[in-house]
Amino acid sequence: MSAEIVNLRQFRKGKARLEKEKEAEQNRIAFGRTKAEKSLTRARNEKAEKTLDQGRLEKPPRDD
């Protein structure tokens, strides 16, 4: 009934590796897009913005 001996230095390094891997995964999601994907997203956003602006009602000027 002896406990498992753990090297704390190796444990800390392993934990740091896991943290770096999690951060790398987040960066791949956020920044790992091709130029074509970025331009397609930009074009879709601009089209949606134009469509929204076309449906906007302008208020008549007030006479005070």
Distance of alpha carbon 37 from alpha carbon 40, whole angstroms:
5
Q: Tens digit of pLDDT for each residue in 46-62? A: 999 999 988 877 877 77
Number of CB atoms found within 10 A of residue 50's CB:
9
Q: Tens digit of pLDDT for each residue in 30-49? A: 888 889 998 999 999 999 99
pTM of the model: 0.45
pLDDT at 64: 66
At residue 24, the 3 state secondary structure works out as: helix
CA atoms within 13 A on the CB side of 2: 3
